[in-house]
Amino acid sequence: MAKAKTPGTVEKKLIGVADTVITAADRSKDPTLTIPVRSLANVNFNEKRGIIELGKRKQARTFFNVGMAKKFMQTVLVADALSELQRANLTTSLREIYYRTKHTMKGSHENTFDNQNESDPLIEDLEVSLAALREELHVRAENAGSIVGPVVFGDDGDRVDCARLGKGGYSVPSIVEPEYIEIRRCTADFVLLVEKGTQWNRLSEDKFWRRYNCVLLTGNGQPPRGVRRLARRLHEDYRIPVYVLVDNDPWGYYIYSVVKQGSINLAFESERMAIPKAKFIGLSSADPDRYGLPRNVGIKLNDKDISRARELLKYRWFQKKHWQDEIKRMLGSGLKYELDALANKDFRYLTKTYLPRKLKEEDWLD
Amino acid sequence: MLARTPPPAAAPKAAVSAVEMGARQREISVSEFFTKNRHLLGFDNPRKALLTCVKEAVDNALDASEEAGILPDVVVTVEVAPSNGTAPPPASQATRFRVTVTDNGPGIVRQQIPPIFAKLLYGSKFHRLRMSRGQQGIGISAAGMYAQLTTGKPVQITSRTGARAAAHYFEVSIDTKTNEPRIFENKKIEWEHPRGTQVTLEIDGRYQKGRASVDEYLEQVAIANPHVDLVYHTPEGDTRKYPRTIHELPPQPREIKPHPYGIEFGVLLRMLHDTRSHALAGFLAGDFSRVSPVLAQEICKTAGLSPNARPRNIHGEEAEALYKAIQATKIMAPPSNCISPIGERAILHGLYKQIKGEFYTAVTRPPAVYRGNPFIIEAGLAYGKGPDQAAATANAPAVPLAEGEQQDDGGELARVIRYANRVPLLYQQSACATFKAALETAWRNYGIAQSRGALPAGPMVVFVHMASVWVPFTSESKEAIADYDEIRKEIKLALQECGRRLGVFLRKRERAKSEFRRRNIFELYIEEVVEACARLKGGKLAKDKLKTQLQKIAAKRTGGSRTDEILGRDSGPEGLPHSIIVTPDGPEGEAPALPGADVAPPEEAAAEAAGPPPARPKGKAHPATPPKKAKRPAAAAKHPVTAARRSTTASKRKKR
C-alpha cells in the first residue's frame, strides 16, 4: 500500500490533474481534461471476451467555457479531496467526498456543490480518465451485500469464517481488493448469486450452502461493486462457476447481464468485474410451466416492463437465440414472476425442490 | 287557498285600506336614505370610514385649489380624539378619530359654507361636464353626516377667502329629515392662514396600516399629484411630507356640452324640455358638442321632424325617432380639452418620488371615447428594488446556502395602483377595469413571469389613471371603474407600451448581467482551482503566478475591455421615452431632483478594477468624474402634457 512520503501511483495520477492546469496556464491555453464518454453510445460488446467495453469517444472538459467552467472547477476540487485521502490513507464514502468539497466560494453566495448528484459523476469521471479504480481512489459505497458459505477471509487481520457466522453471514464490504480482503480458503463448488435478500435468507436459513457446498451471495437487488468483485475473485481464484438466481422480469435479466458482461455506466470496470462465464439459473420464463407454478402467482407486465424487455431484446449481448426465446416467451405470456412466488407451492420449495432439480438437470442459460 | 277554516282572527290585521296606506306614504329625504345605506358612500366599516372622510376632504381641497389656479398645499392631520379625561388609547386601538384637512385654496364664501358641508347633493360639479375629482356633491356632506351619526359632533369649518377678508368659523350638521344644514356656531375668528379652508370631522373609525389605509391613500395621492405639497400628521404622531416636485398646475380642464352619443333617452327628453332654444335644429346645434347646424338639419331630416319644431313639443314617438336618428348619424368624437391628464413627466416624477425602483416609465394615451364621454388613459410602471434595497441584498452577509435552499426573491406579485381623475381607488380592485386589463396583458412577452389569471410577478408597481369628464364607477362610493370595452382596450394598450419599454430595459440589463456573470464565474472559479491545485501539489506552487496566468486567459476569452465597455453602459434610457432608469451612478432620464437627496454622502466604489460582485450599487455619481454616458439635459419640456415631445434623450440628471 502507498505510504506517506512518496506519492503512490494513484496519487501521482491525481496530481496530474493539477499539472494539466499548470501546464496549460503556462502556455496560455485553456486547461482541458479529457474524459471518456460514459453512455450507451460509447460502449461496445466484445463478443470474444464476452464483456462490455468502454469505447474510444472522449469529451473535453475545458475551464474557460461558461457551460463547463463549474464542472471543471468541481473536478479539480474532487481530485484534491481524493489525493488527500491517498495521503492520509483513509477510505471514505461518496457522500463524505461531497461534504468535504462543499464550501461557499470566496466573496459570493455560490456553493461549490449544491448536492451530491453533482459530485458523484465527477468521481466516476476521474476513475475513468485516470484509469484508477474506485477502490484505488479509496472511495467505498455502503456495504450492501451478504455472503455465507465455506469460505474464509482475512479482513484487517481478523479471520472471518463464513461457515461460522450463523444465518446472517458476513457483510460484504464495498472494497474487496486483495489489499483489503484476503481470501484465505474457499472449498465451495460454486457461487450462487441471489438477487433478493429475502431468498438469500431462505437459503441461508435452510443451510442450503452446507448441503450443496456452495457460497451464497446477495447484493440486495442490483449487486454493488463489492459483491460483483468478490464473485469475480472467487470465480477466478478458485475456478468455481457462478450461478445467478433472479426474479423473472426484465430487471432480473439485466442484473444477470451486469454480472456477466458488465454495466453500461461502469463499462470501464467490466475488465475486472464481469464474469463472462456466469450462468442464469432462474427464474426462467419457462419455469412456471416446468414447475407447475399457477398462473395466478404471476404479475402482469406493466408498460415499463414491456418497453424495458424490448430494449433488452436489442442489446448485442442478448442476441443468442435462447435468450431471444427466453425474453419473447415472457413477453408472450404477459406475466412476470418473483422468486418469492415459489412459496406458493411450499415454503421450502426453493431449497428442497427448485434449486436441486435445476442443478441436477443443469438447467441454466448462458 | 284551500285552507279548510281560515283563521278568522288573521283577517282584520292583514287588511289595510288604501287610505291607511296612503297615510304612511311620504317623501324620503336623501339624507335619511343615506343614513340607512351608508355603505353606498363608502362608510361600510370603521376602517373604511376613516379613509373615506380623509379622501372626501382632500378631494375637495384639491379640486377647489386647482380650479382657482392655486398650487395646493394640503395638511392632513388624523389624531385620536380625546376621550373625556382619560388618556387616549394608542392609535391602533382607538375607535374615535379627529380628521382635519387644511388647504390653501380659494376659501368659501360665508353663506355657502353650511350647504356645502351639510346638505347632500349640493355642489358645483354635478351639473357640468368637466373633469374633477368630485362629481356629485355628496362626499364631504356624507362624511359630515357620518360624523354626526357616530359621534354626534358637528363638522367644524374655518374658511377665509383672502388676506383682507375675515376668517369664518362654522359648526354645522345636517337635518336628516329635510336635508338642510343646521348651524350651531358661526363666528369670525383670527386665523393664521391668509387664505384657505380647514375642515374638522370627528368620527368613529379604526386606524390600521397597510392595504387600503389612509397612509396608502395619501401616498398614492402624492404619486398622481406631484404638483401638490402634502403634509400628513399620522395618528401615531409621525409627520410625513410629500413635497411638490412639479411646480406648475395641470392645465385647467374645460367644461363641455354633452356629446349626443353619450346621453340616454330620458336625458334627451329632459334636455328637450329644459332648453332655451326655440327650434329643434338650434337645440341640437346649441346644446350638444360636435353638432354643427348642418349636422342638426341632417338629424332632423333623418328623424322626419321639422328643424323648426319647438323642442318642448317633441315627446313620445317623435322623441324616440329623434333619439334613433342621433344614434344613426355620424358625429365627430367629443373634444378632449375637457380632460387634463396627469402627463407622462408628472407620473414619472410621482412614481420616482414615492416608489423605490430601478426603472420607471409612463405613457399617456391619446383621448378616446366611451358612450360619448371622452377619456384618457395613462399608465406607468415602477420596476425593481431600488438601489438601497438592492444594495442591502448584495451587501448582506454571505450566508452559505444549505442543500435544497435557494436564493429567492419572495415571488411577490405586482401591485396595481388605480386612479380615476387623480383620485386613488383602494377598494374592489378585482372589479375594476384597470385590474382586469393588467391581468389580461401578456406580461410574459416583456420578460416578466405571470401565472395564469394572476398579476405579473416581480417587484413592480403598475400605475393606471383614467381621466374623464364622467368616470363610470361601479358604485356610488367610487371604488372601481366599470368595465367598458373601450376603456379596457385603452388601458391594455397603455400597459402594453409600458411593458414593451420594461422589456427593453430588462433584456438590456440581463445581457449586461450575463456578461458580468461570465466574467465573475471565471474569477470565482480561478480562485478555487488555484487553491485546489496548490493543495494537490503539496503547497509547492506559485499560486499568484498561476492565478495571474489564468486570469489573463479569462479576460481574453470574455472579451476583455470590450466587456468593460458593455458593463459600463449596461443601461441607459436610450430609445425609451418617458422613462427613468436608476443605475448605481444615479438615475438617468427625466428624474426630478428629490428634496433632501443631496444629504446622502457619495460612497466611493473601491473594488472596481479587481472585479466587483454582481450589480453592487455604488452609491451616487462620482462628483469629480461624471460617467461618459451622461447626457446633457435637452430642453426639458415645459408642459407636462406635450405628448408628441421627442424626448428620447431628454434627460436630467438628478442633482446630488
pLDDT (tens digit per residue) in B118-169? 887 777 766 666 777 876 667 888 888 889 888 889 999 999 998 888 999 9
User: Which pLDDT belongs to residue B651?
Assistant: 39
Q: Is A254 a catalytic residue?
A: no
Residue among A18, A21, A104 minimizing CB distance to B398: A104
AA identity, residue B427 = Y
Report CB contact under 8 Å: B533, A18.
yes
Put simply, whether A22 touches B (Cβ < 8 Å) is yes
- Name the residue of chain A whose CA is nearest to B407's CA: A109
Which of chain B's residues have a Cβ under 8 Å away from the Cβ of A30? 553, 557
Are B422 and B342 within 8 A, CB to CB? yes
Best to test chain B binding among A105, A115, A117 (most B CBs inside 10 Å): A105
pTM for the full predicted model = 0.60
Helices (H) and strands (E) in chain A, counts: 14, 17
| Residues comprising chain B, all counted | 656
Which of chain A's residues have a Cβ under 8 Å away from the Cβ of B542? none
pLDDT (tens digit per residue) in B402-413? 666 655 555 688
Write the DSSP string, B438-496. HHHS-GGGGT--B-TTSPBBSSEEEEEEEEESS--BSSTT--SB---HHHHHHHHHHHH
DSSP state of B334: P
Q: Which helix (H) or strand (E) holds B385?
A: none
Residue among B400, B520, B556 minimizing CB distance to A104: B400
| Residues comprising chain A, all counted | 366
Which of chain B's residues have a Cβ under 8 Å away from the Cβ of A77? 528, 532
- Residue A300 CA, distance from chain mean position: 28
Q: How far is A76 from chain B (nearest CA, A)?
A: 6
Are A341 and A298 within 8 A, CB to CB? yes
pLDDT (tens digit per residue) in B294-322? 999 999 998 888 888 888 888 888 889 99
Cα B532 to Cα B549: distance, rounded to the nearest angstrom:
16
Cα B465 to Cα B224: distance, rounded to the nearest angstrom:
8
Q: Which helix (H) or strand (E) holds A252?
A: helix A250-261
Q: Which helix (H) or strand (E) holds B364?
A: strand B359-364
User: Which pLDDT belongs to residue B610?
Assistant: 37
- Closest by alpha carbon to B377, among B487, B249, B262? B487
Which residues does chain A have with pLDDT short of 50? 1-5
Q: How far is A332 from chain B (nearest CA, A)?
A: 45
User: Which pLDDT belongs to residue B405?
Assistant: 62
Report CB contact under 8 Å: A76, B528.
yes
Q: How far is B546 from chain A (nearest CA, A)?
A: 7
Q: How far is B519 from chain A (nearest CA, A)?
A: 9
Cα B493 to Cα B490: distance, rounded to the nearest angstrom:
5
Write the DSSP string, B588-608. EEBPPPPTTGGGSPPPPP-TT
Asked whether the predicted pLDDT for residue B281 surpasses 80, the reply is yes
Strands (E), A11-145: 32-36, 43-46, 51-54, 58-62, 92-93, 139-140
Mean pLDDT of B464-482: 86
Asked whether the predicted pLDDT for residue B656 surpasses 60, the reply is no
Mean pLDDT of B508-516: 75
- Name the residue of chain B whose CA is nearest to A114's CA: B403
- Closest by alpha carbon to A267, among A98, A76, A56, A93? A56
B415: which 3 cell numbers? 401591485
- Name the residue of chain B whose CA is nearest to A105's CA: B524
Are B352 and B592 within 8 A, CB to CB? yes
Examine the predicted complex and report whether its ipTM is higher than 0.90: no
pLDDT (tens digit per residue) in A79-106? 999 999 999 888 888 889 999 999 888 7
Are A261 and A274 within 8 A, CB to CB? yes
Put simply, whether A68 touches B (Cβ < 8 Å) is no
- Name the residue of chain B whose CA is nearest to A84's CA: B536
From A98, A99, A212, A349, the catalytic residue? A99
User: Which pLDDT belongs to residue B655?
Assistant: 39
Higher pLDDT: B114 or B581? It is: B114
Which residues lie closer than 8 Å to B247 by C-beta, 6 or more apart? B71, B227
Report CB contact under 8 Å: B525, A26.
no
Asked whether the predicted pLDDT for residue B604 surpasses 50, the reply is no
Rg value, chain B, Cα: 31
Q: How far is A25 from chain B (nearest CA, A)?
A: 6
Instruction: Categorize the per-residue pLDDT at B388 as very low, low, confident or very high, splitting at 50, 70 and 90.
Output: low
Residue among B400, B533, B535 minimizing CB distance to A111: B400
User: How high is the mean pLDDT of chain B?
Assistant: 79
Q: How far is A303 from chain B (nearest CA, A)?
A: 33
Which of chain A's residues have a Cβ under 8 Å away from the Cβ of B399? 109
Put simply, whether A108 touches B (Cβ < 8 Å) is yes
Cα B460 to Cα B571: distance, rounded to the nearest angstrom:
18
SS (H, E, C) B79-136: EECCCCCCCCCCCCCCCEEEEEEEECCCCCCHHHHHHHHHCCCCCCCCCCECCCCCCC
Number of A/B CB contacts below 8 angstroms equals 98
Identify the residue whose cell numbers are 425593481.
B384
User: Which pLDDT belongs to residue B621?
Assistant: 37
Q: What percent of chain B has pLDDT over 70?
A: 77
pLDDT (tens digit per residue) in B421-466? 889 998 888 889 999 999 999 998 888 888 888 888 888 999 999 9
Write the DSSP string, B527-576. HHHHHHHHHHTTT-S-HHHHHHHHHHHHHHHTTTHHHHHHHHTS---TT-
pLDDT (tens digit per residue) in B610-654? 333 333 333 333 433 333 333 333 333 333 333 333 333 333 344
Residues of B engaging A, defined by a Cβ cutoff of 8 Å: 398-401, 403-404, 407, 518, 520-522, 524-525, 527-529, 532-533, 535-537, 541, 546, 549-550, 552-554, 556-557, 613
- Closest by alpha carbon to A234, among A259, A205, A208? A259
Q: Is A19 helix (H, G, I), strand (E, B) or coil?
A: helix
- Name the residue of chain B whose CA is nearest to A26's CA: B549
Q: Left, alpha or beta for A156 (phi > 0: left; psi -120 to 50: alpha)?
A: left
Put simply, whether A6 touches B (Cβ < 8 Å) is no
- Closest by alpha carbon to B177, among B43, B30, B23, B25? B30
Are B91 and B233 within 8 A, CB to CB? no
User: Which pLDDT belongs to residue B578?
Assistant: 73
Q: What percent of chain B has pLDDT over 90?
A: 23
User: Which pLDDT belongs to residue A98?
Assistant: 92
Which of chain B's residues have a Cβ under 8 Å away from the Cβ of A75? none
Report CB contact under 8 Å: A14, B529.
no
Best to test chain B binding among A10, A61, A65, A66 (most B CBs inside 10 Å): A66
Cα B139 to Cα B113: distance, rounded to the nearest angstrom:
15
User: Which pLDDT belongs to residue B117?
Assistant: 87
